Amino acid sequence: MAAISKSQSRRQFLLDMAKTACGVGMFGLGLGLYSKQARALPPAAIRPPGALPEPDFQGACIRCGMCVRDCPYDILNLAKPEDDLATGTPYFVARKIPCEMCEDIPCVKACPTGALDHKLTDINKAKMGLAALVDQETCLNFLGLRCDVCYRVCPVIDKAITLERVHNFRTDKHTMFLPTVHSEHCTGCGKCEHACVLEVAAIKIFPVQLAKGALGKHYQMGWEEKKKAGQSLVAPEIKHQYNLPEGFEYEQGRGLVPGGSSEAAPSPAAPGAQPGIPQALHGDKL
């Protein structure tokens, strides 16, 4: 009798244990899937400076909020459960309030886990995100005006944003000053997005991996390779041979100029024509 009840109770015990294990396992699976879903960062949420790349960040950050507390400009928030990113992790929204790029980076210093990497000591090397002028149709500078605000507020002015001069083909007499972001120097602080004068910013900060393209690994920039090697790598450079009137040379930017070639001296210009310019270019038929 005793033996039977003992084995029975053992069976019951094992059954209970299996039930618990299964229940917990299912629960774990659900939670795992849910956590997977939250691994990608929504584009508007920017991590503080020095944040490890996602999802490493979500393994390192213990959601203590020390970074939030030590930010003197109070720009950081901890995500709430209803927010679109991992609950309790810190972020800021550039359009609302951007990072002031404190020189001593107190948020990073406050982080007890290194989820904000303590190796970041120069705030200019931060990569919180990357600015991109996404809407060229509304950017005032693209419309030919001189707004320049994003350029002016950029703490890394003339490196992270430059104004590239381009001919304005609409008026055909002005120049457009196009704000152009350079990923090498942009810290993603969000000052530009925050300051953009439009109703909705034309320049926005994105997580780097969202904003940045990537060339195929096999791509090489000919001009860079050439600079490295000190000569063209494709084929020996041969001076381009133009089919030109005798005694003339073609020069980039200047057009035909008398001289050069193997001929001894430029032949005298035809009478009546401007010296140095072949007749064909005076409007005469060839």
Q: Interface with other proteins by CB under 8 A: which residues?
A: 16-17, 20-21, 23-25, 27-28, 31-32, 34-36, 38-39, 55-56, 58-66, 68-70, 77-78, 80-83, 86-88, 110-115, 118
Q: Pick from 148, 44, 153, 159: which is nearest to 101 by CA? A: 153
Which of ligand SF4, other proteins, none sits in contact with 38, Cβ below 5 to 8 A by type?
A: other proteins
Which of ligand SF4, other proteins, none sits in contact with 73, Cβ below 5 to 8 A by type?
A: ligand SF4
CA angle 170, 176, 182 (to 5 degrees): 135
Report in angstroms how near the CB of residue 26 gets to ligand SF4 at its nearest. Answer: 21
Token readout for 223 is 């001009």
Q: Which residues pair with 251 in a beta bridge?
A: 255
Which of ligand SF4, other proteins, none sits in contact with 220, Cβ below 5 to 8 A by type?
A: none
Report in angstroms how near the CB of residue 107 gets to ligand SF4 at its nearest. Answer: 3
Q: Which residues bind ligand SF4 (CB under 6 A)?
A: 48-49, 61-67, 71, 73, 75-76, 90, 99-102, 105-107, 110-111, 113, 115-116, 123, 131, 154-156, 160-161, 181, 186-192, 205
Token readout for 276 is 């140095």
CA angle 146, 152, 155 (to 5 degrees): 160
* Residue 205 burial (C-beta neighbours within 10 Å; 0-12, 13-18, 19+): buried
Of 42 and 255, which CB lies nearer to ligand SF4 in the complex structure? 42
Distance of CA 228 to the CA centre of its chain: 26
Of 23 and 72, which CB lies nearer to ligand SF4 in the complex structure? 72
Distance CA 204, CA 196 (A): 9
